[in-house]
Amino acid sequence: MINEEITHLFKALSHPIRVDILDLLKKGPISTGELSEQFDVSRYAIMKHLTILEEVHLIVVRRQGRTRLNFLNIIPLQEVYNRWVSKYESKMATSLTNLKTNLEAGGTELMKKEISSFQIEQEIEIKAPVERVFQSLVNDINTWWEFRLQAENSHLTLDSTVGGFFKEDWGNGQGAIWGTVLYYKENEEIRLQGLLGMTGAVNSQYGYVLENRGDSTIVKLSHSAVGLLDPNWEEAHSQGWTLLLNNLKEQAEKQ
C-alpha cells in the first residue's frame, strides 16, 4: 500500500460509528437498512459512513434484488499490518490453526456441527494487468496457494477447463481434489466447487471475478458454504482467503 492509501484508511477508521459498523459486520453481512436501525443517526448519515468505508475497500457491497448487503473486507487491514510486521510473523499472527487442524485431522476429530451457512466476500487491488493476474491465478497456483494436505512431494495444478480439477498431486497416482471448475471465462471469472478443508455434509463453492481498473486489477473473491458446518469454519476460511489473496498479489506484482 502506498502512503496515501494508508492515510485514507486511517481517516476512515477515525470515526467511532465507522468502527462500530465494522464490528457489526464482523458477525456477518448486514443490509444497509438493518445497519441504520443500530444507530441514532439518519439513514443518510449511515450511507455516508458506508461510502467512506467502501472507498477504502474496508467493506464490499453486493446487491440481492433491491437489498444492499455490506460485507467486511479485512484485506486492507492485513496489508497495513504486513507493512510493519515481517512476513513470517504476519502469518503466525493470522493464526490459521483451525483450518490447519481440520486439514491434518482429516475429519477424525468429533466436532459439534449444525446446519448453517456462510458467505465470504473479499476483494483486493493488484497493481498488474488483468491478463497477468489471471495467469498467476490459474497457472502459478502452486506458488501462491499456501495450504497442502501433504507437505512433502506435493504439487498443485489447476486445469481451468470446465470440469477440470484443482488438484494436489503427491505422485504415484496419489493426491486430492481441492475443487472442480464449474465456470470459466478467460481473464474474467472462474468458479469452482470444493470443500477446502471442510468435511462431511457440506456444499461449498468459491470463485474469483477480475475487473480491470486502469493499471490495476481488482480481484473479487466469493465463497459460500451450507451444510453441517463447524462454528469456527467461517472465521478460519476468511483468514485463509486473506492470506491467499495477499500471496496472489505478491506473485502477480513481482513478475
More confident residue, 59 or 4: 59
Res. 93: pLDDT tops 50: no
- What's the pTM? 0.71
What are the pLDDT digits (tens) for 115-146?
889 999 999 999 999 999 999 999 999 999 99
Q: Enter the DSSP assignment of 104.
A: H
**DSSP three-state, residue 172:** coil
Q: What is the pLDDT of residue 80?
A: 78
What are the pLDDT digits (tens) for 7-37?
888 999 999 999 999 999 988 999 999 999 9
Contact by Cβ (8 Å): 134, 212: no
User: Which strand ranges, in their side-by-side order, compose the sheet holding 67-72?
Assistant: 30-31, 67-72, 59-64
Domains of the chain (ranges; CATH) run: 3-72 (1.10.10.10), 81-253 (3.30.530.20)
Kindly indicate the confidence band of residue 249, based on its pLDDT and cuts at 50, 70 and 90.
very high
Measured distance CA(18)–CA(46) in Å, rounded: 9
CA neighbours within 13 Å on the CB side: how many for 222? 15
Task: Please provide residue 88's backbone torsions phi and psi, each rounded to the nearest 5 degrees.
Answer: -65, -45
